[in-house]
Structure 1
Amino acid sequence: MKAAPEAQKRLLDLAELDSTADRLAHRRRTLPELAEIDEQSKQYAKLATEVIEAETEAGDLSREQTKAESDVDTVRTRADRDQKRLDSGAVTSPKDLASLQSEIVSLHRRQGDLEEVVLEIMERKEAADAKAAGLIAKRDEIAAVRSVSEERRDAALTEIDKETAEVRGKRAQIVGDIPADLLALYDKLRDQYGVGAAMLRGGRCQGCKVALSIAEMNSIKAAPHDEVVRCEECRRILVRTAESGL
């Protein structure tokens, strides 16, 4: 393949821009904020699940407390009713009086037991409410921290995308100076090796950093200036310049 020396030298400018674009793409993929946000999102999801569990537990205890309080009210109402019957003097039979008094004592005992149950449930509910509140605070704190990380990520991505757009604009200008067949070869080699062209400097390929043999140097020296030469080691296009040592 043949191409004007100036067109070949433009490959070095293109390779530099492509390397810059690759670095920007790598930076975009590996922003520290991305790892931070991922970890923060995992923490948020875990806390969100724990909040639901704590709120569910608190809700269940609230319903349990309501039922227990209802049971207390039922027993209290029945005890009050019996106490009124006893106080009214309507019950005169000694046997019935004894039975009524016994029932009142039993109801008071039952009421006391149920009130203990209510207090125990209330304590458990207070603990569940406190746990839920603490988890909500942690969840919201993580959300706020993640929001800050997302702002930093967005700012970094905006800057990277701006630089990438500038590189693409410069690349488009350079591509216009390179023959289609030479550009196709360069792009093919770049896909294969990451870098499609490298300078020959001081007898050494700057792509693979391997020093060329005397025979290789003589062969390149004898080649026409418009001949597209390749590195025997890495197969990249070797661009000859005044620094090549020919």
Structure 2
Amino acid sequence: MKADPVHQMRLLDLQELDSALGRLAHRARTIPEIAEVQRLDARLSELQDQLAAAQTRLGDLDREQRKAESDVDQVRTRAERDARRLEAGQVSSPRELEGLQSEIASLRRRQGELEEIVLDVMERREEAETRRADLEKEQEAAAEERSAAEERRSTTAGEIKDEEAAAAERRTRVAEEIPADLLALYTRLRDQYSGVGAAALRYGRCEGCKLALSTAELSEIRVAPSDEVLRCEDCRRILVRTTESGLQA
């Protein structure tokens, strides 16, 4: 293939812009805040599950406390009723008196046991309430942290987008200056070789594969017409001669 040396040099400008666009695309995919937002989303989801469990726990304890308090009330009511009978002298025999006194004593002991249960439930409920409050605070802090990270991500993404737009505009202008057949070859090679379709020959080394050319290869390049489109024998990319090619005899 033949191409004006000026157009071949423009391939290097095009390659530089394509490489810059590739780096910008990589930056857009790897903005640190993207991973940070994902981490915080996972944490918020985890906290939401923990809060739901804490709320369920509180509901269970509320029911347990109401049941324990109801049991206390029932035993207290029965003990007070028996005590009133005793005080009113509504006992017909010593055996009945002894039985009533025994029942009252038993009810008082049972009341004390149930009141201990109520206190235990209240303590556990207080702990559960503290746990829920702590989770809510942590959730609020994580949500604020996520909002800040999302704002930073959006700012960085916007800056990258602006850079990409400017680079893409420059690329369009440069591509329009390159003949269609040369541009098609460059594009095909760029797709084939990891985004690099053209490389400079600099001081006897291909900048595409970073390998030094042999003496024989350099000799062939020295005598090749300036409009000949060269290819690197090792990486097969377009090899563009420059003033720094190191071709002086």
Q: So what's the TM-score if we normalise by structure 1?
A: 0.90
TM-superposition CA deviations, 1:158-205 (whole Å, max 9, x none): 111111111111111222122222222212221222311011223322
Deviates more, 1:214-223 or 1:144-153: 214-223
**Greater alpha carbon shift after TM alignment, 157-166 vs 225-234:** 225-234
Partner of 1:230: 231
User: What secondary structure sits across from 2:236 in the alignment?
Assistant: coil
CA distance in 1, matches of 2:24, 2:171: 14
Measured in 2, the distance between the counterparts of 1:203 and 1:78 equals: 106
Which blocks of at least 5 consecutive residues in structure 1 are unaligned? none
Q: Distance in 2 between matches of 1:90 and 1:143?
A: 68
2: distance between equivalents of 1:174 and 1:183? 10
| CA–CA distance in structure 1, aligned partners of residues 211 and 110 of structure 2 | 95
Aligned to 1:42: 42
| 2: CA distance, partners of 1:37 / 1:148 | 9
CA distance in 2, matches of 1:82, 1:29: 79
Q: Distance in 2 between matches of 1:173 and 1:86?
A: 108
One-letter code of the match for 2:13?
D
Q: Give 3-state SS (helix, strand or coil) of 1:239's partner.
A: strand
Match of 1:205 in 2: 206
**Which letter does structure 2 place at the counterpart of 1:116?**
E
1:119 paired residue number: 119
**Residue identity matched to 2:52:** I
Report the AA paired with residue 24 of structure 1: L
Task: Indicate the larger mover: 7-16 or 36-45.
Answer: 36-45
The alignment yields a C-alpha RMSD, in angstroms, of 2.0
For structure 1, which segment, 65-74 or 36-45, has the greater mean C-alpha deviation from structure 2 after superposition?
36-45
Hey, what does 1:105 align to over in structure 2? Answer: 105
What residue in structure 2 maps to residue 244 of structure 1? 245
Equivalenced residue count is 246
Q: Secondary structure at the match of 2:235?
A: coil
Offset of residue 117 of structure 1 = 0.6
Task: Report the alpha carbon displacement of residue 35 of structure 1 after superposing the two structures with TM.
Answer: 2.9
Partner SS state of residue 199, structure 1: strand
Distance 1:89 1:213 in 2: 125
Q: What 5-or-longer segments of structure 2 have no aligned partner?
A: none
Deviations 1:25-72 (A, max 9, x none): 122222222233333333333333333333322221121111100111
Q: In percent, how many aligned pairs have the same letter? A: 58
What is the CA–CA distance in structure 1 between the aligned matches of 2:104 and 2:207, rounded to whole Å? 102
* Cα deviations by residue, 1:84-140 (Å, 9 ceiling, x for unpaired): 333333443433333333222222221111001101111111112112222222232
* Structure-1 residue corresponding to 2:76: 76
| Range with greater deviation from structure 2 (236-245 or 106-115) | 236-245
One-letter identity of the residue aligned with 2:232: C
2:216 — aligned with what? 215
Q: CA deviation at 1:228?
A: 1.2
